Structure 1
């Protein structure tokens, strides 16, 4: 019998599922928060910080594992949304 261990809990492979969408997480990337496990897509929807400019969650670009964001005065921005307050030119380059 195979079992999976994650966050100090033990699961049957078929029981290791996203707390939101129910997809089986056996063999795919996952994340945990508040004693629950999530597929990466749902984890970002629930816990990604919103952009202070556009309000959308700041999540990694498709195919990327890491997230790029700007943090200024305890506020998060997408790189494309961080602009000068006077002329509205993009401040960051990527």
Structure 2
């Protein structure tokens, strides 16, 4: 077997993790030239969701990974929610993300927090 300029015995052409034979299957190679079947590759190298800490895996039976990146963090679509009220956030008008202090907030909760913090600051200053 030949892959990316390397030659393998047929019995050595197997996944680094599960040891399954890769002949006839989709696979990839890491920077150390280790071979991976796609399911094992995704389980090892896929990013983790900041909210639930599970791997963000491709949609079943595809190689398409759907994730949201916000403030340099990764999220499942269903985990990308307002930290205060739980509303799912998106790029749709009225569902945008307004991060503040490391929290993901919808517009209403963002305004509430800013207003609350402003009132607390005024009380402290008086």
Taking structure 1 as the reference length, what is the TM-score of the superposition?
0.86
Distance in structure 1 (CA, Å) of the matches to 2:38 and 2:71:
28
User: Mapping of 1:10-89 within 5 angstroms?
Assistant: 10-33=7-30, 34-89=32-87
Q: Is the 8 A contact 1:7 1:35 kept in 2?
A: no
Unaligned stretches of 5+ residues in structure 2: 92-126
1:51-86 C-alpha deviation (Å, 9 max, x unpaired): 000000000121122101001111100111101123
**Matched positions, count:** 90
Which has the higher relative contact order, 1 or 2, with Cα contacts under 8 A spaced 6 or more apart?
1
Greater shift, 28-37 or 6-15, is seen at 6-15
Q: Is the 8 A contact 1:16 1:26 kept in 2?
A: yes
More strand by share: 1
Q: Which has the greater radius of gyration?
A: 2
More helix by share: 2
